[in-house]
Structure 1
Amino acid sequence: MNNLVNFIIESGVSLSLLALIYVLFLRKETFFRLNRLFLLFSILFSVILPFLHFRVYAPQSNMLAEVTVTPYRNLLEAVTIYGQDLSGAMVKSISSSKIIISIYLLGLTFFLGRMIFRIIQVMLIIVKNEVQYIDNYRFVMVDKDFSPFSFLGYIFINPNLKSKPGYERMVTHEMEHIKQGHSFDVLILETLTVFQWFNPFMWLLKRAIRENHEYLADSAVLNSGISTSQYKQLLLSQAVGFQLDIANNFNSSLIKKRIQMISKIRSSKFANLKYILGFLSLLALVIIFACEQKKTAQITKVGDSNERKITISLLDDRLKVDGEQEDLEVLYSLVNEKNKYEFDTDSTGTMFLVKSKVEEPRQLDEEDQVFFIVEEMPEFPGGDIALRKYIAASIKYPDLAIQNGIQGKVYVSFVVTTEGAIANAKIARGVDPSIDREALRVVNSLPKWKPGYQRGVPVNVSYTVPINFVLQ
């Protein structure tokens, strides 16, 4: 469900922006073929965008393979933690709302049913009426008062119109819809509308493409030899009968706009520059949704008279430090006078200034005996399921690891003492300092267990818990 919500959100934002650009800057231009390409590419791009992932800054990812042979005893079942950015959090929030999901699914069902009904409606007209093959085109003769329309390879027309002036032009118009494959555009739009029914820009884009189809067909008819004034008169003389939204209609509510576009002076070649705006918008969407960028707030510390510098960046609640070794040593001596900070290095060699641990985890004495198997094993309050829930709820996927694309399985070993407390917690197998620290913090925070017993006496028992960090 999360993947579907993410697809709907990202494709919806892309469709909205590109539709807005078309309406504001390109809709009134007479580059009908370019406009159609822009609209169709906008749809294709919006569908593909949620699946694109590029990393602008990509250090070496540390993804550990599954352990096949392990020396760990009392190995608990792995707990998987998923990392999400802001958009991921929004996706999760929407996915968890039953009301939003229910409303969306109701709308999806309605519009899917409507699309299927309209296709069946067209198919029934074909089945119930005479079909004539003329010049490789299939004409469906429908004895009803309506304007000609086309769908896929069929032209639907009232045979009584043959005696009226302009009949050939109307047929030419519908032939152009078939030649240029406009029905396929309509079917793609109808399908996308099923998923984006709530998006007003989707309906705007749908209308824009239908307008473009009519402009293209009108342009082809005008190029066949009819005068502009005659064609305008033909458009105005057509009475509106029943129409099918899924088909291309010769006469529609777009007549006024079609007449205006026929009379419009051709756009200059300089108007082509407007398409650059569309390209820049596509690039911006890729950067926003597909590229994962590393952002830091820069703070510069100026050194002595030699103007040596230490650069400090705020990142993941830690301070990233860059500078010469000599300057870093001076900084280290200054901040550690009261032992409140310490330096740390991640797997990429980046140095960080972090707060020292205020409270050291409990450590057993060397002479304390630790068991692996006892008659009565320790028990977490609520059992193993409760333990997994506690760990999953307590762990926060480090922002630094998310930004650097770091994931993997951390093995944390610990001892449940005779009092049921946690002691000797350590990383048995790590992934990255940022992830290791978080896993260790949560294990050290575990509430008291029911201690294990051997021959009726409470004893120390060792455990290992795997925590799997996975980026979505």
Structure 2
Amino acid sequence: MLLFLAKFTACLAIFLLFYKLLLEKESMHHFKRAYLLGALVASLLIPAIVLTEYVAIPTNTDLLGATTQEGNPVLTEAVSKIHTEKMNWETLLWSIYLFGVALFGIRFLLHLGHLWWRIRKNPKLRTRFTTRVLLIPQLPPHTFFSYIFLNKTAYETDQIPQEVLLHEETHAKEWHSLDIVLVELAQILLWFNPLIYLLKSAIKLNHEFLADSAVVKTDTTISKYQHLLLSFLTKASENHHLSIKIANAIVYSSTRAERSRSIKKRFTVMKTNTSKKSIVLKSTLLIPLVALLLFGFSQRKIETKETDGIIKDINIEITEDGQFFINNHYTAISDLAERAKEVNEGLEPYFLKNYVHATILYHESQYQLIPVVQGQLERLGISNITHVSDRTRGILNQKRFSPSIYDGKTLMEARQIRREKVLSEMNGVDNEDLPMEIIWLEVKSEHQFLYEDEKLSLTEVFEKIKSTYNPKNSSTNYEVQLYSEGILKSDFLNEVNSKLREIGIKRITAFSDQFIMPEKDFKNQVEITPETIFVESNKIGFSNKNSQKTKKLQTSATREEMKEYNALAKKYNEMDRNRMVVKNKEIKRLKELYGKMSKKQQADAEPFPNFPPPPPAPTAPEPPKNVSDTEYASNQIEHIIDTQDPYDATNISLNSIRPNIPESPVPITTKLNIQKTHLLPPPPPEPISPVESIEKLAKEGADFMLNGTPISAEKAVEVVKNNDKINIDLRESSGEKPLVKLSVNPIHLKN
């Protein structure tokens, strides 16, 4: 309750501050009336709004069998004593609160009683919209709902100006008393909150703004009306009755100072004209204000929702007409990511990345939608994605969707399958240093690990591994694999590595989304080329040894680098491939720039040039027969001497022919200019395509087989056209016709 009241007070204070600073002096009175009432309602509702976040967690059966023990009698007695003291304080506070509610409730009823008595006991004059109650006492004019209370003598002698009557009629017609009753009821319940009194004063003052505005819109001059209002500040008009507290009076304040302040504000607002642009702008500011209050003062509740922890494959089908189905349920492209997430709701990102498999089955006419679907899946954290067309599936006689090894498995079963898979892959390699058993650790933080579903500290993990496996004295090699969804620092990994080595672990592997290493340890030793682009899922960073801040490694090319790459790539793409002159320096630069680009930059940039293969080395001339090596060498030297141009450049290294003579005391500088000439052999004739080869063999009457099954020539041509990765085996057969074997699997040739 105290928290609710604190939030209510904070919200109402912010609303009133906004009103005082931006709205009160503006002539948008009807909007301000709605704002003030809305501020009260919103301040009550916002703290009561509960924003519930559901977190799905796998069912943990280990916790179901937990039992409770009887409490300590001494502790129970102490808790009981504290609870009793708390109840005593609560009783006292509730008593004070209820006393205030009763007091203000009686006050409100007395005010209503006074008004009801005046209406009943005094003469009344009914008009079209209002009822005028004529009073004997000298009271200023005031209104309650449709009843206007006026002094009888002044009314009968026409001493009440028409401006005053119009002022009071405006209160009655616009039902201003309804606002007063609502805020009075709020005051009864929240009598202890001073902001309620400020809100009531603002509402009453705005009612006067509305009534003044109605009078000023007539033929009455502003100066005349202002003098009329000043007349109600004289001592003769100070005979106020308590009933005016819940009525709209032309001068509603109980003290002279307060009446003076309100009159000054009314005079100022009478002369103000707010533009429509200002009204729209200030009204628009309410949207972020309410949003901030809703975000800052509403309640947040996190509810756990147990799931069965079953891993399910995500099967997406793209039909010929572009419709999407996820696991046989139709979905729109805009909801694709959300529906895919619901298939494995509650799975942590680590399991989505390593265990969930997605298959995209698409119609050939909708192949352009594959990147869209794949991008949405990757943003969910799913990395195991395959896609296959309807036609290929039909040719290979495959099922629509083949389940993965993890489909339908629990998290524990999937972990075990993954462990066995890793072990089988490692045992298949002939290396005695590879581990025969893996110990899995999940890093929650640098001070907490998850080992066999048990949360342990770093020291406890080492002791557990040491006592369970005794790696130092065991004949089995062990590997520890660390998994973390957060950042792993090299210093922390070095500490873990050294301690695991001490207890006998042979190998340690770490998997993490981010890894931070000292700047001095970071070395870019891998040349990035289009053929050997280093692709990794982990984000690598480096830190300055003199600062705790970390910097991210550049993951994309700059604008200048993109401009340089596009210019070079365009230059080579426009060349004739058969007559292309390339420079080694520019090729290296192209590869370097291409490796820096992100996937999006690579897609938007010029295609990487298709360079021709380097020319083969020239064949050495064969020496003439029946000539000795000495004679052949002598003849070649004489031929070179006879035909050598003295101005020919040479590529001979000076170091390789330097004689063994003492070095000159004066250094000799030799500058050798070598002109590089790119000589390319004439291009070989283009080989015919596999489709043309199959068609030619079909015309020659060849026999065809697909995966060991005989097929027709037309079927063979269709298979090769639709699958550019099909393996073709064409060898001489024992029969008269050639035999062509097609296979989706590699073909092994036997000697």
> What's the TM-score, normalizing by structure 2?
0.35
In structure 1, what is the equivalent of residue 79 of structure 2? none
Secondary structure of 1:156's aligned partner: strand
- Whether the 8 Å contact between 1:173 and 1:217 is mirrored in structure 2 is yes
In structure 2, what is the equivalent of residue 72 of structure 1? none
Residue 29 of structure 1 aligns with an amino acid whose one-letter code is E
In structure 2, what is the equivalent of residue 18 of structure 1? 15
- Whether the 8 Å contact between 1:321 and 1:352 is mirrored in structure 2 is no
Structure 1 pair 332–291 and aligned structure 2 pair: CA distance change class (3 A):
closer
In structure 2, what is the equivalent of residue 241 of structure 1? 239
Structure 1 pair 246–230 and aligned structure 2 pair: CA distance change class (3 A):
same
In structure 2, what is the equivalent of residue 286 of structure 1? 294
Q: Distance in 1 between matches of 2:452 and 2:278?
A: 54
In structure 2, what is the equivalent of residue 275 of structure 1? 283
The CA deviation string for residues 323-370 of structure 1, in whole angstroms up to 9 with x for no partner, is: 9769994656998xxxx9552899xxxx97779999xxxxxxxxxxxx
Following superposition, the deviation at residue 128 of structure 1 comes to 1.7
Matched, 1:103 2:96: yes
Counterpart mapping for 1:111-150 below 5 A: 111-150=104-143
In structure 2, what is the equivalent of residue 218 of structure 1? 212
Secondary structure of 1:140's aligned partner: strand
Matched, 1:54 2:70: no
Matched, 1:255 2:263: yes
Q: Distance in 1 between matches of 2:104 and 2:20?
A: 25
Q: Distance in 2 between matches of 1:249 and 1:41?
A: 23
In structure 2, what is the equivalent of residue 90 of structure 1? none
Q: Distance in 1 between matches of 2:450 and 2:31?
A: 58
Following superposition, the deviation at residue 248 of structure 1 comes to 0.2
In structure 2, what is the equivalent of residue 193 of structure 1? 187
Q: Distance in 1 between matches of 2:219 and 2:194?
A: 39
Residue 39 of structure 2 aligns with an amino acid whose one-letter code is S
Following superposition, the deviation at residue 24 of structure 1 comes to 2.3
Following superposition, the deviation at residue 96 of structure 1 comes to 5.4
Structure 1 pair 178–95 and aligned structure 2 pair: CA distance change class (3 A):
farther
Structure 1 pair 271–24 and aligned structure 2 pair: CA distance change class (3 A):
same
Greater radius of gyration (CA): 2
Matched, 1:343 2:450: yes
Higher relative contact order (CA 8 A, sep 6+): 1
- Whether the 8 Å contact between 1:32 and 1:216 is mirrored in structure 2 is yes
Structure 1 pair 357–186 and aligned structure 2 pair: CA distance change class (3 A):
farther
Counterpart mapping for 1:61-460 below 5 A: 97-162=90-155, 163-164=157-158, 167-238=161-232, 239-243=237-241, 244-252=244-252, 253=259, 254-262=262-270, 264-272=271-279, 273-292=281-300, 329=440, 342-343=449-450
Q: Distance in 1 between matches of 2:117 and 2:57?
A: 57
Structure 1 pair 285–124 and aligned structure 2 pair: CA distance change class (3 A):
same
Q: Distance in 1 between matches of 2:272 and 2:88?
A: 50
Following superposition, the deviation at residue 62 of structure 1 comes to 10
Structure 1 pair 134–345 and aligned structure 2 pair: CA distance change class (3 A):
farther
Q: Distance in 1 between matches of 2:223 and 2:88?
A: 56
Residue of 23, 29, 47 corresponding to 1:32: 29
Secondary structure of 1:245's aligned partner: helix
Q: Distance in 2 between matches of 1:53 and 1:150?
A: 41
Structure 1 pair 41–62 and aligned structure 2 pair: CA distance change class (3 A):
farther
Q: Distance in 2 between matches of 1:106 and 1:172?
A: 41
Following superposition, the deviation at residue 321 of structure 1 comes to 9.4
Residue 250 of structure 2 aligns with an amino acid whose one-letter code is F
Residue 108 of structure 2 aligns with an amino acid whose one-letter code is M
Residue 238 of structure 2 aligns with an amino acid whose one-letter code is V
Following superposition, the deviation at residue 242 of structure 1 comes to 1.6
- Whether the 8 Å contact between 2:142 and 2:148 is mirrored in structure 1 is yes
Residue 207 of structure 1 aligns with an amino acid whose one-letter code is S
Structure 1 pair 332–215 and aligned structure 2 pair: CA distance change class (3 A):
closer
Q: Distance in 2 between matches of 1:35 and 1:266?
A: 15
- Whether the 8 Å contact between 1:152 and 1:178 is mirrored in structure 2 is yes
Residue 200 of structure 1 aligns with an amino acid whose one-letter code is P
Following superposition, the deviation at residue 159 of structure 1 comes to 2.2
Structure 1 pair 187–355 and aligned structure 2 pair: CA distance change class (3 A):
farther
Residue 97 of structure 1 aligns with an amino acid whose one-letter code is E
- Whether the 8 Å contact between 1:142 and 1:157 is mirrored in structure 2 is yes
Residue 148 of structure 1 aligns with an amino acid whose one-letter code is P
The CA deviation string for residues 233-281 of structure 1, in whole angstroms up to 9 with x for no partner, is: 211223333241100001242323222322x331233433233443322
Q: Distance in 1 between matches of 2:109 and 2:225?
A: 35
In structure 2, what is the equivalent of residue 302 of structure 1? none
Following superposition, the deviation at residue 141 of structure 1 comes to 0.8
Q: Distance in 1 between matches of 2:120 and 2:192?
A: 34
- Whether the 8 Å contact between 1:16 and 1:202 is mirrored in structure 2 is no
- Whether the 8 Å contact between 2:27 and 2:273 is mirrored in structure 1 is yes
Following superposition, the deviation at residue 174 of structure 1 comes to 0.9
Structure 1 pair 199–265 and aligned structure 2 pair: CA distance change class (3 A):
same
Structure 1 pair 12–176 and aligned structure 2 pair: CA distance change class (3 A):
same
The CA deviation string for residues 430-462 of structure 1, in whole angstroms up to 9 with x for no partner, is: xxxxxxxxxxxxxxxxxxxxxxxxxxxxxxxxx
Q: Distance in 1 between matches of 2:9 and 2:176?
A: 23
Structure 1 pair 291–139 and aligned structure 2 pair: CA distance change class (3 A):
same
- Whether the 8 Å contact between 1:50 and 1:289 is mirrored in structure 2 is yes
- Whether the 8 Å contact between 2:26 and 2:272 is mirrored in structure 1 is no
Q: Distance in 1 between matches of 2:214 and 2:114?
A: 29
Following superposition, the deviation at residue 191 of structure 1 comes to 0.6
- Whether the 8 Å contact between 1:8 and 1:195 is mirrored in structure 2 is no
In structure 2, what is the equivalent of residue 371 of structure 1? none
- Whether the 8 Å contact between 2:135 and 2:152 is mirrored in structure 1 is yes
Q: Distance in 1 between matches of 2:177 and 2:264?
A: 22
Structure 1 pair 333–259 and aligned structure 2 pair: CA distance change class (3 A):
closer
Q: Distance in 1 between matches of 2:151 and 2:444?
A: 93
The CA deviation string for residues 125-154 of structure 1, in whole angstroms up to 9 with x for no partner, is: 112211221224111110111111000121
RMSD, aligned α-carbons: 4.1
Q: Distance in 2 between matches of 1:282 and 1:167?
A: 43
Residue 141 of structure 2 aligns with an amino acid whose one-letter code is P
User: Where does the alignment leave 5 or more consecutive residues of structure 2 unmatched?
Assistant: 60-69, 71-85, 253-258, 303-347, 355-421, 423-437, 462-751
Residue 54 of structure 2 aligns with an amino acid whose one-letter code is A
Following superposition, the deviation at residue 60 of structure 1 comes to 4.2
Structure 1 segments of 4 or more deviating over 6 A? 323-328, 351-358
What is the total number of aligned residue pairs between the two structures? 298
Structure 1 pair 357–7 and aligned structure 2 pair: CA distance change class (3 A):
same
Following superposition, the deviation at residue 227 of structure 1 comes to 1.3
